[in-house]
Chains A and B, each alone.
Chain A
Amino acid sequence: MPNMCEATTRIVPGAAVIELSGDVDGSAAAILTSAYDRAVNAHDGPEPIGTVVLDFAAVDYINSTGIALIVSVLARARAERRKVVASGLSAHYREIFDITRLSDFIELFPDLDHAVSQLASHAAQA
């Protein structure tokens, strides 16, 4: 059965994280946009947020409208010179990211821990 999309945001060294759960479909539009706004604006450090992590570990379902929402987030992030990475995608949705070429523009990590540790490492080296 459909599960309403929910999103929580937090700041980690080197990135803002948006943890998604439920269904990423047309009903997720306002939730995802709002989460992106919170993620990139909540930060009060000296440097702006340069990377946004979309974590899909708790996402059950992504449809073509959800793919369009992710494209919109990526387009906005690119316009703002931010990088988008993704974690926690199932093998099936990794395949869909490959077919749509989203994975050419969004680096994929197997899980959030891998993404956060690599981004923290890069932030420490910067």
Chain B
Amino acid sequence: MTQVARTAPGKPRRLDAFTLASEPGNERLALERVAGTVKDLGLPEARLERLKTAVAEATMNAIEHGNGNRAEIPVEVEVTLDGDDIIIAISDQGGEAHAAAQNAGDPEEPDLLKKLDGAQTPRGWGLFLIRNMVDAMNVTTDGQRHTIWLTMRTGGAAHAEHV
């Protein structure tokens, strides 16, 4: 039986931290490295696949919308184990860009029928997928730095909390 990893409550342990150039396709590097970092923490296969998709989509958002595909601005990724929670923090330097997008109004929830009828663009699935893949998603932004926090519990079923 797989042993589920955990740390003492309130004593998070950083498992990995790395940066990526903001170039299209580099989200694959993030998902593969995170998958390697958490592979022995007892996540069932289906939940590991969900986490990989969430990491890839959050990294894509950071590369494209946060850092504007400018390779010289890194995306920072940090993996922490806090109690039973795997927490992935993915940061870009596009706080202003994200704030401007938010001020322009929240993007409409993707609706496949509307997309098929041309009433919505075919794109716009990224945040929707992230929210549905992890147990919790939070976002913090200051003037410049924008971070998306993904939480996946090492045991038990998904109980989504989205802030």
Contact = CB atoms under 8 A, between A and B. Distances in A.
Given A63-B56, A64-B125, A71-B122, A1 B116 contact: no
Nearest to A26: B24
B116 A74 contact: yes
A124 interface: no
B53 A92 contact: yes
Contacts of B11: none
B60 A71 contact: no
Interface string A10-44: 00000000000001011100000000000000000
Interface string B37-67: 0000000001001100100110010000000
B155 interface: no
B24 to A, nearest CB: 7
A-side interface mostly: helix
A109 interface: no
B126 interface: yes
A59 interface: no
* Size range of the chain A interface in the assembly: 20 to 34
A118 B50 CA distance: 31
B115 interface: yes
A105 to B, nearest CB: 7
A104 B112 contact: yes
Nearest to A70: B122
B125 A68 contact: yes
A75 B49 contact: no
B24 A1 contact: no
A112 interface: no
Interface of A: 1-2, 23, 25-27, 61, 63-65, 67-69, 71-72, 74-75, 78, 90-92, 95-96, 99-102, 104-105
Given A61-B56, A96-B53, 13 more contacts: A64-B57, A64-B125, A65-B123, A67-B125, A67-B129, A68-B121, A68-B123, A72-B122, A74-B116, A95-B46, A100-B128, A100-B129, A101-B112
5 A-B pairs with least C-beta separation: A92-B49, A64-B125, A68-B122, A71-B122, A68-B123
